[in-house]
Structure 1
């Protein structure tokens, strides 16, 4: 499922990163890569921005960027 399909507070593991080029390099530099655990902290109004926690860092991603991250929800 896409990261944007998770609910607030959901913990998930990244299965695949569908981004290309500079966007992929930027996400990887922040630790957004296959096998990393993320927690969805919340959405901005109208779900235009997604806030995630990866490790001890919090990131705000545009909805279009978050949809490129395929995850599986942790039990």
Structure 2
């Protein structure tokens, strides 16, 4: 299992599964992060506490704990 938080800057990935609880899962889906969506890793904050990703045309900053709940595979 590979999670979003373990990926490198510049990686393009496909979401396989969201392991988040209901409230967070709904928030991620509202941002377009759902099964089969494509995500690009743009940047990490110092210390990798947050990760900036691109989903469609939207840029989103996720906490490392949130990114750990998103299972992905490389394209």
Unaligned runs of 5+ in 1: none
List, as ranges, runs of 4+ consecutive aligned residues in structure 1 with deviation greater than 3 Å.
none
Unaligned runs of 5+ in 2: none
Number of matched pairs: 74
Aligned ranges 1:1-75 → 2 under 5 Å: 1-74=2-75
Alignment partners' CA distance in 1, 2:70 and 2:62: 11
State the 1:37 CA deviation.
Answer: 0.2
Alignment RMSD, CA only? 0.5
In the superposition, the TM-score normalised over structure 1's length comes to: 0.97
* Partner-residue secondary structure (3-state), 1:52: strand
- Deviation string 1:26-59 (CA, Å, 9 cap, x unpaired) is 0000100000000000100000000000000000
In the superposition, the TM-score normalised over structure 2's length comes to: 0.97
